[in-house]
Amino acid sequence: MNHSESLQTVPVKGHVDKGHVLVTGGGSGIGAATAKVFSDAGYRVTIVGRTESTLRAQDLPYQVCDVTDKGAVTAAFASAVKLRGPVTVVIANAGAAESVPFAKLTPEHVQGLLQVNVVGVINTWQAALSDMQTSGHGRLIAIASTAGLRGYPYVSAYSAAKHAVVGLTKSVALELAKTGVTTNAICPGFVNTPMVQSAIDNIVATTGRSAAEAADALIAGNPQKRLIEPVEVAESALWLASDAAASVNGHCLALSGGEV
């Protein structure tokens, strides 16, 4: 068995049970912050990722799973549902980015980014859909990016993948509009996570700039001149999951200090 069996089927005492949220990429960064915010708000939580050690460190129930593997995603959902009930909110957050000049892009590189950033979202949302349609209520949420709303140099394949997530979100939202399921994306600018730290490391390695200069280069495009904190993305997802956001559908919410 590859999952934490802390049988979280019964709501924590003192909490109002809000439902069951499954967060992919929940072992780090935005996903870990989102899982904690939902857990604190009274949701039953399952986190998903490929690395058991980082999942276990979050102290929440988890399933080890690669979101690009449809069969593995289906199996992970089945185990999570058996333990904690139908998934009412799914947050397709797992993703990867890599800087490559356009002229050096290879089909393998492009396929890899499309697999995790686009097919991973589709696999995750599809696995949640049947239970949501049966109950007439559900929330499909993707963590896209401002790179899904505008371009950036050296990340053309990542940006193409995130634009695909935005198109997917708008289309699925219309298709499911009468089912009680809403479909939305959150599009953050640069967020203070391990992904951004590796972008900073990459700039330092390739340009010889200091880490502070590299960080400044990343925040230069944000009018507030700061990195966004993971909890800001998490709280936006919590709102999208709430009854207050019932009519928000097909929306791609930029969290970018006014950049887009």
List the catalytic residues.
158
Query: How buried is 25 (Cβ within 10 angstroms: 0-12 exposed, 13-18 middle, 19+ buried)?
Result: buried
Burial 26-64 (b: 16+ CB within 10 A, else e): bbbbbbbbbbbbbbebebbbbbbbbeeebbeebebbbbb
Q: Shortest gap between Cβ of 50 and ligand NAP (angstroms)?
A: 3
Taking the C-alpha atoms of residue 118 and residue 144, their distance in angstroms, rounded to an integer, is: 9
Query: How buried is 154 (Cβ within 10 angstroms: 0-12 exposed, 13-18 middle, 19+ buried)?
Result: middle
Q: Which is nearer to ligand NAP, 66 or 131 (CB)?
A: 66
Q: Which is nearer to ligand NAP, 30 or 137 (CB)?
A: 30
Tell me if residue 138 falls in helix, strand or coil: strand
Residue with tokens 């695909």: 164
Q: What are the Cα distances from residue 123, in Å, to 67, 130, 176, 200, 224?
A: 7, 13, 16, 30, 35
Chain residues that interact with ligand NAP, rule: CB under 6 A: 24-25, 27-31, 49-51, 54, 66-68, 93-97, 116, 120, 143, 145, 188, 190-191, 193-196
Q: Which is nearer to ligand NAP, 91 or 181 (CB)?
A: 91
Q: Shortest gap between Cβ of 96 and ligand NAP (angstroms)?
A: 5
Q: Shortest gap between Cβ of 223 and ligand NAP (angstroms)?
A: 16
Q: Shortest gap between Cβ of 15 and ligand NAP (angstroms)?
A: 25
Q: Which is nearer to ligand NAP, 151 or 194 (CB)?
A: 194
Q: Shortest gap between Cβ of 196 and ligand NAP (angstroms)?
A: 4
The phi, psi pair for 226, rounded to 5°, reads -155, 160
Q: Which is nearer to ligand NAP, 93 or 184 (CB)?
A: 93
